Chains A and B, each alone.
Chain A
Amino acid sequence: MFFVVAVAILVTLAFALVRAFAGPTIHDRILALNVVGTKTVLMIAVVGFIVGRPEFVDIAIVYALLNYIGIIAVLRVFEGHGLSAPPAEAEAGKKERGR
């Protein structure tokens, strides 16, 4: 039962990786990072039940907090210091799609 859940989480993790590789914009990749973080939280919780240590759920909650704060920080960096100037972003996305 938990094993099936773990396999499902691993498959979605792989899909998130595909999105991280394919891009094409940086926002897709931030989203992929966020999804991988969420999958990490779920994975740790499920692994806790598989190995018979349900207290891993507490650690998963800490991960959820870390993930949230990390993504907010990354997005703030993009919002703040001209990192996501629209023309440059569009250009970068186009260049990548062309490759």
Chain B
Amino acid sequence: MAVGRRRWVIEALIDIVLLTLLATVGIGIVVIRNLLAVTMLSGIYSLIVAVLFVLMDAVDVALTEAAVGAGIMVILMLGTIALTTREERVHGTGHNLLAFVVVLITGAALIYATLDMPGFGDPEAPAHTHLSPRFTQDSPEEIGIPNMVTSVLASYRGIDTLGEVIVIFAAAVGVLLVLGGGAVRRRRPPTDADDPAGEGRR
């Protein structure tokens, strides 16, 4: 028991330090006007968040965060900066009091909502007393997939996953329409009359 207590204290200390660093990086992102620096800081932010996710045992989420937040996001933002500008322009220095109040109220409401949530890792939480036993005991017979995460994602939560896939597909189509349309048309030689849609070139 003493060992578990000690471990808990160590984890809490690491959490506090990481969250402090996270807040510092967040303030830096708001204050610094050089967009290249902000891009790098957002990558650092993602990496620190990924460590916090690992500390909370959400390894898969952490891997996604590191790959998307620190990997592809940084590259996409650098590409955007290459096409636009490096310095953030400040429109007016007056502070918007109404916006501040709205943010304050929303934040207070969100913090108030977390008070009703069960504690982190609480074995008495509803998810652990109802859902987990059901999935771990019944999913092999009901679905027939040995991996329970897969059976939850692909069957119990199948419609939700389908919705996610539709969102990602729509986003990909949108990005291709915005970015790819002009380039494809320009690249096509004029003799290519038998392939009017340009499908064969992609």
A residues within 8 Å of B by Cβ? 3, 6, 10, 13-14, 16-17, 20-21, 23, 26, 29-30, 32-33, 36-37, 40, 43-44, 47, 50-52, 56, 59, 62-63, 66-67, 69-70, 73-74, 77-78, 81-83, 88, 92, 96
Q: A17-B25, A43-B51, A73-B75 are in contact. List 11 more A-B contacts (CB 8 A).
A: A10-B17, A20-B37, A20-B40, A29-B41, A40-B47, A50-B11, A51-B55, A66-B66, A74-B74, A81-B82, A83-B78
Q: How large is the interface on B (under 10, 10 to 19, 20 to 34, 35 or more residues)?
A: 35 or more
Contact B10 A50 (CB under 8 A): yes
Contact A83 B82 (CB under 8 A): yes
Contact of A83 among B24, B40, B81 (CB under 8 A): B81
Contact B59 A59 (CB under 8 A): yes
B residues within 8 Å of A by Cβ? 7, 10-11, 14, 17-18, 21, 24-25, 28, 32, 34, 36-37, 40-41, 43-44, 47-48, 50-51, 54-55, 59, 62-63, 66-67, 70-71, 74-75, 78-79, 81-82, 86
In the complex, A42→B157 CA distance in Å?
35
Most buried by B among A37, A62, A67: A37
Q: How far is the CB of A15 from chain B (nearest CB, A)?
A: 11
Contact A40 B10 (CB under 8 A): no
In the complex, A77→B86 CA distance in Å?
15
Q: How far is the CB of A38 from chain B (nearest CB, A)?
A: 10
Enumerate 12 A-B pairs (CB-CB under 8 Å) in ascending A order: A20-B40, A32-B40, A33-B74, A50-B14, A51-B7, A59-B54, A63-B66, A66-B71, A67-B70, A70-B43, A73-B75, A92-B36
Contact B37 A10 (CB under 8 A): no
**Chain A facing B: main interface SS:** helix
Q: Which 3 A-B pairs have the closest CB atoms?
A: A29-B40, A70-B71, A40-B47
